[in-house]
Chains A and B, each alone.
Chain A
Amino acid sequence: MALIADTQVKLDPMTPVPYRVARLNDELSDTFTLELEPTDRDISFAPGQFTMLYVFGVGEVPISVSGDPGRRGLLVQTVRAVGPVTDALQALSPGDYVGVRGPFGTSWPMEAAEGHDVVIMGGGIGLAPLRPAIYHVLNNRDRYKDFVLLYGARSPQELLYAQELQEWGGRFDMTVLVSVDVATRGWTGSVGVVTKLVGRGPYDADDAVVFLCGPGIMMRYGAQALLDQGVSGDRIYVSLERNMKCAIGFCGHCQFGPTFICKDGPVFPFKDVEKLIQVREV
């Protein structure tokens, strides 16, 4: 392995660190999970953080880390193919290399949630940045009280991590409620928008800490439903998303009002962004 000679270059946050593709698993028709092995330095990350994945000569995209934060040696990232770079990622095979920068951003407040009921609420691909938080709670189960996962997707075929959802649903120390917008034949679960799951889980609204992630509108309505239920606004956390080019606060693209989503976010307490989220096109 040709080593990077200049130490400064090695630590430079704009230098991609090479990782080798170990596996590429299809999740849904346009969504897949990369399992990456470090070749040089390994990174450790906190739930909710993201990396910039670089395809040689094609470009970079910000992707949440969706693996187990307690497990080193493998970087797991779920990607949705929506453009040239993510299409290129989908075309990779085991043995190919990608560049990884990061991890960047703020994380789900796992410590602050200790001793409380934890509600994880995801919509669509929003489950990917939440999965490390789910793993963390399950790996440290006795530090948290009741644990509820509320998940919504468009249809039964578009449930992300469907196998794990079933496994988690079978656990006695966790409740999983799933709802789809559009049912198909044979679906015997809930049908309806995911915000309707709020209030159906066995958690105490006065005590619960909620991590919320999904399309922007879903987070807004979800947060409102939680507030209506009596969950405190400073115990609801959301993960916001904006266009990113550098992930380190230099390119200006990810600004949301005065915050840089790459540095001040992506995880925010809902009460900090509640007002600005309501202003159009900020």
Chain B
Amino acid sequence: MSEAMVLDRSGIDQLLSELRDRGYTTVGPTIAEETIVYDEISSTADLPVGWTDHQEGGRYELEDRHDDKLFGYVVGPHSWKRFLYPARAVIWAGERTEQGITTLPPEDPPRYAFLGVRPCELAAIRIQDKVFMGNGGPPDHTYSGRRNEAFFIAVNCVEPGETCFCTSMGTGPRAGGGYDIALTELIRGRTHHFLVETGSEAGEDVLAALGAARRVGEHDVTLADDLLQEAALEMGRKLDVHGIKELLQRNLNHPQWTDVASRCLMCTNCTMVCPTCFCSTMEDSLDLSGTTAERVRTWDSCFTMDFSYINGGPIRPSRRARYRQWMTHKLANWIDQFGVSGCVGCGRCITWCPVGIDITKEAAAIRATDGLLDSSRVPIPEVTS
């Protein structure tokens, strides 16, 4: 554990520059198309300085805060899986020769430094680590190559969003580990600096090389603690996770699935924005000469009709079954498979659902009428969202 240190905004610019000198591509939040996304950045000027986001079910808007806060917002539609587990990745390339099929050597993975990783996102990355690297078999090399090279600069959340519920999932608002450097933005009067903590040797090394961090007294640490404790109480949503695995697994015939399916457009937004969703499919292609073939892995979604296709038809033709599959996987089956919940409480699926379906409300509706069967005559409780 390091002593209490702070960086100024210029220190963060130096940090980005130091990382680039070390061969990292620096990535962080930036504004594009009126949304805060994750993309390559070169300095803090690229960050959404002085902006905040307002999120609700099916709504996302940016608003000028009229201040200089670098991280005064939460998460947007992108997650870091965009880089660690890209939407399109060549998994295999080979050549056809007279001797048969030969495999072409893979490309070296890029080295990313991520600035602004929220605690829920660190948790999501740890979850994807379990999926791709920790589940008893050989790891997925395209994931592990990038992930093991990545440098993480976390940012603790002092202003939770309206659709956030990381406290319910035990993933925030403070980063519990898994970062190289963690920042907490502190503004007090005219003082504006960032409490900095290191979480790894690499983090210590880089911070030391900057020489830009200076010691501060306990009041900054106390302020950060207070802000984070308050933030934990200000979450926009709550999810009761008590016994939720068993709850959902015993309610596969609950009428709520039919109810939510009547609203769900099967647009797959939730699976695209979710930082832990990992389903993929393979696209095969051949070059024009027919001698080089590629197998490209692309993101897929359990909401599509194609997803469960075998033997002339999909296993899950109904929308009811497909919504049920997503939610029971995320909140229940995931625990059987990986030992942890698949949900980190980031709220993206709520914000980016065009009709504002709210996973916390759907779970609550089922919990409120545990055991109800679709054929029952008991009226379905009204769910507003």
Contacts and interface: CB of A to CB of B under 8 A. Distances in A.
Query: CB atoms of A and B under 8 A apart anywhere in the complex?
Result: yes
Interface of A: 1-2, 4-6, 8-16, 18, 20, 39, 56-60, 82, 97, 99, 241-243, 245-246, 248-253, 255, 257-258, 260, 263, 279-282
Given A15-B92, A56-B94, A250-B140, A6 B307 contact: no
A241 B316 CA distance: 14
Interface string B93-118: 01011011111011000000000000
Contacts of A2: 97, 99, 102
Contacts of A280: 321
Interface of B: 91-92, 94, 96-97, 99-103, 105-106, 131-132, 135, 137-138, 140-141, 249, 252-253, 278-282, 284-286, 290, 293, 295, 297, 300, 302, 307-312, 315-318, 320-321, 325, 329, 332-333, 336-337
A175 to B, nearest CB: 30
Given A5-B105, A57-B286, A281-B316, A249 B99 contact: no
If over half of A's interface residues share one DSSP class (helix, strand or loop), that class is named, otherwise mixed; here it is loop
Q: Which of A39, A60, A97 gathers the greatest number of chain B CB atoms within 10 Å?
A: A97
A279 B252 contact: yes
Given A57-B285, A251-B300, A253-B307, A8 B141 contact: yes
Given A4-B103, A9-B103, A251-B300, A243 B337 contact: no
A80 to B, nearest CB: 9
B243 to A, nearest CB: 16
B337 to A, nearest CB: 6
Nearest to B253: A279
A16 B92 contact: yes
Contacts of B138: 11-13, 248
B339 to A, nearest CB: 12
Nearest to B287: A57
A5 B106 CA distance: 11
Given A8-B141, A16-B92, A281-B315, A252 B302 contact: yes
A258 B337 contact: yes
A82 B310 CA distance: 10
B284 A253 contact: no
A97 B295 CA distance: 17
Contact of A257 (B97, B131, B137, B333): B333
Q: Which of B249, B311, B329 gathers the greatest number of chain A CB atoms within 10 Å?
A: B311
A11 B132 CA distance: 16
A250 B100 contact: no
Nearest to B245: A258
Contact of B101 (A6, A18, A58, A251): A18
23 contacts: A1-B99, A1-B100, A9-B105, A12-B138, A13-B138, A14-B92, A16-B103, A56-B101, A57-B293, A59-B282, A242-B308, A242-B310, A242-B315, A250-B140, A251-B282, A252-B280, A253-B279, A255-B325, A257-B333, A263-B137, A281-B315, A281-B320, A282-B325
A243 B307 CA distance: 8
Contacts of A249: 135, 137
Contacts of B295: 14, 60
A253 B281 contact: yes
Nearest to A55: B284
B18 to A, nearest CB: 31
A97 B302 contact: no
A262 to B, nearest CB: 10
Contacts of A260: 337
Q: Which of A12, A57, A60 gathers the greatest number of chain B CB atoms within 10 Å?
A: A57
B105 to A, nearest CB: 5
B310 A9 contact: no
Given A252-B278, A253-B281, A16 B94 contact: yes
A246 to B, nearest CB: 7
A251 B284 contact: no
B282 A60 contact: yes
Nearest to B292: A57
B137 A97 contact: no
Contacts of A11: 138
Given A253-B307, A281-B317, A258 B333 contact: yes
Given A4-B102, A20-B100, 17 more contacts: A2-B99, A2-B102, A13-B137, A15-B103, A39-B100, A243-B309, A246-B280, A249-B135, A250-B131, A250-B140, A251-B280, A252-B278, A253-B279, A253-B307, A280-B321, A281-B321, A282-B321
Contacts of B300: 245, 251-253
Nearest to A4: B103
Contacts of A10: 103
A266 to B, nearest CB: 12
- Report the 3 A-B pairs with minimum CB-CB distance, sorted nearest first: A57-B286, A252-B279, A281-B321
A255 B101 contact: no
A281 B280 contact: no
A255 B329 contact: yes
A30 to B, nearest CB: 13
Nearest to B142: A14
B321 A97 contact: no
Contacts of B278: 250, 252
A1 B337 CA distance: 41
Contacts of B103: 4, 9-10, 15-16
B320 to A, nearest CB: 8
Given A13-B137, A258-B336, A251 B279 contact: yes
B90 to A, nearest CB: 11
